[in-house]
């Protein structure tokens, strides 16, 4: 696989203009679209079913004139491709073998037919009578060599094409509608990209079913699925064709055509084979095996490349991968919140505690955790006074955060306390002989541990459970005081990254709160992120800003997602970050904060090795009990060196 492009391969689905039974016209349209694909640096382009002749030729398929013209047209296209920049193209044509006609996909590259794939399942109902003209093929028949279009090529339904280390296979239209599609076998034999040449007529509601079918097959096979169906020119007699084309990757739609267009279309996107391989490695139910005996693997030659092909991608890279998609945003936020509530409720019921104890700072994390506590006791039928919220102002606490904490506790009707930690910390400075004018890590952590001690002791007094407020991003960076805010009895935010915390607080404000509470929540959202452990300035304003020290959380969450979810290299993550944040951060800034991310992620693993229980809400989590198991003393050198050696554009 070409690592210069981080596993991306640019593919296209083409819908040409066609004239029924006019092979010369059709091949010219196909040729024009291939040239456009070459100009867009496409590696593989797929055309619809029987695109050389058109699908709706009916009994004309019995005419030698049509089948011979189709073969001549393919031969012409094959010869022309010798002059082009390398591109693999797949066209549909009728192929005669042993006095039988087969509905086939012909795979060509650089003046050569690489393979011919016949259709396995033929429809024979309603408006389709393919068995009248074509012979079905069987997957279990070994491939044979046939002479076609002036070339000798493998012929069979079980061909696996090896494209510079990437593997793809082909099925045709009805094949994907079968109980066990050929593409399922192709995927387990190693195909990461599946191409479907189709000619499916249009019916009311059919498009949604087709998209669902392809989406599921792509997800089930952990594969890319490229689907090209016949368009306007095929519409003849009683049937209408709308020109559906889709590119899916692991169940995600990357690109689709416009329906009912009168002109040709070419949809282009990149498929990420590294992503697909990562999914297959993690999914233990995915059966991966070398191509069995009845599969024939065909090596497609490719020129060695000395530089990346793509500086920009067609595909959009989401800068906030943890944030739910717009179309199901409210539903997803509600589900995440419900997972947190259910986890905490179970812990309360199981332990039989009489109270929940939580530190309220006036910041985002404790605000979300408090909302979870309130919803939990409401659902369990306990009074809100069951919740003991304690705000503990210290040397760096500002009036803004303190007042927000007090107001939030008041309007939510919980048991509220304000306990200053200043005197206790000053006593501790004296006890250990620390100069309080030295604002070092000792100065900061004494405050964090004092707050945790207060919470634990009040939990003992009230037969309660200390609810942790720290989030997933802080765990990843180790931005937490060991045996301070690092410790709790149940950490409701441990599966929520900082970028998602912000969205959930806003969602709660918009959907769960009255106007007064909403105003407080919105002010908390506008407050800069800070641990408030260093003294405020002369005007009482905070002087410590977390993102100035560790970097922007939106970048760190991006790095975290692709590091844990797919195991991508630093070079690839930096490449993706440049695509996602092209208008927000320079390449130097991305690399600077990536260096911070990996350095902290590796050096702070010892903290994650002993974190409290907490609810898992997504595919990325850092619990050492099942989600992320990492040696506490692993070296980061390979990640930093690799990232900086290969990340510069």
Q: Kindly list the catalytic residues.
A: 49, 119, 173
CA distance 24 to 77: 10
Does the CA dihedral 472-619-526-574 come out positive or negative? Answer: positive
In whole angstroms, what is the distance from residue 424 CA to residue 453 CA?
11
Residue 325 — φ and ψ, nearest 5°? -65, 155
Closest CA to 556 of 467, 507, 483, 622: 622
Gyration radius (Cα) of the chain, Å = 31
Residue whose pair of structure tokens reads 């429809």 in the numeric block: 123
CA distances in angstroms from 647 to 173, 502, 589, 592, listed in the order given: 41, 30, 12, 11
Strand partners, 193: 168, 224
Which of 617, 604, 338, 588 minimizes the C-alpha distance to 479?
604
Tell me which residue of 76, 75, 78, 25 sits closest to 51, measured CA to CA.
25
Q: Which of 167, 173, 163 is nearest to 130 (CA)?
A: 173
Dist CA 527 CA 504 (whole Å): 16
CB 573 within 8 A of CB 563: yes
Task: Tell me how far CA of residue 382 lies from CA of 375, 378, 469, 472, 478, in angstroms.
Answer: 10, 6, 21, 29, 35
Q: How far apart are CA 416 and CA 180, in angstroms?
A: 61
């Amino acid at each position: 696989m070409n690592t210069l492009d981080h596993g991306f391969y640019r593919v296209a689905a083409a819908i040409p203009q066609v004239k029924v039974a006019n092979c010369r016209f059709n091949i010219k349209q196909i040729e024009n679209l291939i040239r456009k694909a070459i100009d867009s640096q496409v590696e593989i382009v797929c055309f619809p079913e029987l695109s050389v002749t058109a699908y709706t030729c009916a009994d004309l398929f019995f005419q030698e004139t049509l089948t011979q013209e189709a073969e001549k047209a393919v031969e012409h296209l094959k010869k022309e491709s010798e002059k082009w920049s390398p591109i693999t193209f797949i066209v549909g044509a009728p192929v005669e073998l042993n006095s039988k006609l087969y509905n086939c996909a012909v795979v060509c590259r650089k003046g050569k037919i690489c393979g011919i794939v016949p259709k396995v399942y033929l429809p024979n109902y309603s408006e389709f009578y393919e068995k009248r003209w074509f012979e079905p093929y069987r997957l279990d028949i070994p491939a044979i060599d046939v002479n076609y279009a002036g070339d000798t090529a493998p012929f069979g339904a079980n061909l696996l094409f090896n494209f510079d280390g990437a593997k793809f296979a082909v099925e045709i239209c009805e094949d994907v509608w079968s109980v066990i599609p050929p593409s399922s076998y192709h995927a387990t034999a190693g195909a990461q990209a599946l191409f479907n040449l189709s000619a499916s007529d249009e019916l009311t509601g059919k498009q949604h079913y087709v998209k669902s079918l392809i989406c599921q097959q792509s997800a089930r096979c952990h594969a890319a699925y490229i689907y090209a169906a016949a368009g306007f020119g095929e519409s003849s007699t009683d049937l209408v064709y709308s020109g559906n084309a889709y590119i899916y990757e692991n169940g995600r739609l990357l690109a689709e055509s416009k329906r009912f267009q009168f002109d040709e279309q070419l949809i282009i996107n990149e498929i990420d084979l590294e992503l697909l391989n990562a999914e297959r490695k993690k999914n233990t139910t995915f059966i991966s095996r070398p191509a069995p005996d009845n599969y024939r693997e065909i090596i497609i030659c490719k020129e060695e490349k000395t530089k990346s092909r793509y500086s920009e991608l067609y595909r959009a890279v989401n800068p906030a991968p943890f944030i739910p998609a717009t179309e199901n945003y409210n539903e997803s936020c509600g589900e995440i919140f419900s997972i947190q509530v259910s986890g905490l409720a179970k812990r309360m019921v199981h332990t039989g505690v009489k109270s929940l104890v939580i530190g309220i700072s006036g910041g985002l994390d404790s605000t979300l955790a408090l909302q979870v506590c309130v919803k939990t006791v409401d659902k369990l039928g306990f009074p809100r006074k069951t919740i003991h919220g304690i705000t503990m102002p210290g040397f760096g606490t500002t009036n803004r955060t303190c007042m927000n904490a007090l107001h939030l506790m008041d309007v939510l009707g919980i048991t509220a306390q304000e306990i200053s930690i200043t005197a206790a910390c000053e006593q501790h400075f004296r006890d250990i002989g620390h100069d309080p004018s030295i604002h070092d890590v000792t100065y900061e952590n004494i405050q964090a541990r004092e707050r945790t001690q207060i919470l634990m002791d009040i939990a003992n007094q009230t037969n309660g459970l200390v609810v942790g407020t720290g989030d997933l991003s802080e765990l990843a960076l180790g931005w937490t005081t060991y045996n301070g805010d690092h410790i709790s009895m149940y950490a409701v935010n441990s599966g929520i990254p900082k970028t998602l915390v912000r969205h959930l607080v806003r969602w709660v404000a918009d959907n769960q709160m009255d106007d007064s509470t909403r105003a407080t929540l919105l002010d908390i959202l506008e407050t800069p992120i800070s641990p408030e452990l260093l003294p405020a300035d002369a005007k009482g304003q905070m002087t410590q800003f977390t993102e100035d020290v560790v970097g922007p959380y939106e970048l760190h969450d991006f790095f975290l997602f692709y590091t844990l979810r797919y195991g991508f290299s630093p070079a690839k993550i930096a490449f993706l970050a440049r695509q996602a944040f092209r208008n927000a951060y320079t390449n130097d800034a991305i690399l600077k904060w990536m260096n911070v991310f990996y350095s902290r992620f590796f050096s702070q693993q010892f903290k994650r090795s002993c974190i409290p229980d907490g609810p898992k809400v997504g595919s990325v989590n850092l619990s050492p009990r099942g989600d992320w198991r990492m040696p506490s003393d692993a070296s980061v050198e390979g990640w930093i060196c690799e990232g900086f050696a290969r990340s510069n554009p």
